[in-house]
Amino acid sequence: MNYEFMITGTHLPPCMPLPRATLRLPVSNTAKVMYARLLDEILTRGTPDCNGILFIRFPIMEIAAALSRSPQTCKRSLNELEQAGMIMRVRQGIGEVSHIYILLPKEDAAHE
């Protein structure tokens, strides 16, 4: 991969969003990277539910491949994000992929 210095007007390559407020939340760095990836996924492929709230279906094996992490690490990070109130998973039927809702931190969360 080739690299170059940034100058005024440099066009950025595709990036994933990560709200600043998430940097201070008590979750691991792996969970923060996963949150950015989930947020990117919902912005590009989110599906509205019956209330118009976006969710994604993102199987563990696909998340693991996207992040180059083990499925077990991804499960742990998803649990961490859910316990921190950053995502909400709604389980579907047996063998079905959960719906993942992304919750956005309020700006004042960064000051707590």
Nearest to 112 by CA among 19, 23, 24: 24
What secondary structure does DSSP assign to 2-46, as a single string? ------TTPPPPP-----GGGGGSSS-HHHHHHHHHHHHHHHHH-
pLDDT for the residue numbered 16: 86
pLDDT for the residue numbered 4: 82
Please name the residue that has the structure tokens 């995502």: 87
What is the C-alpha separation between 35 and 27, in angstroms, rounded?
A: 10
**Domain 26-105, CATH:** 1.10.10.10
pLDDT for the residue numbered 108: 58
Per-residue tens of pLDDT for the chain, all 112 residues: 788 888 888 888 888 888 888 888 899 999 999 999 999 999 999 999 999 999 999 999 999 999 999 999 999 999 999 999 999 999 988 888 899 999 988 765 445 4
pLDDT for the residue numbered 109: 46
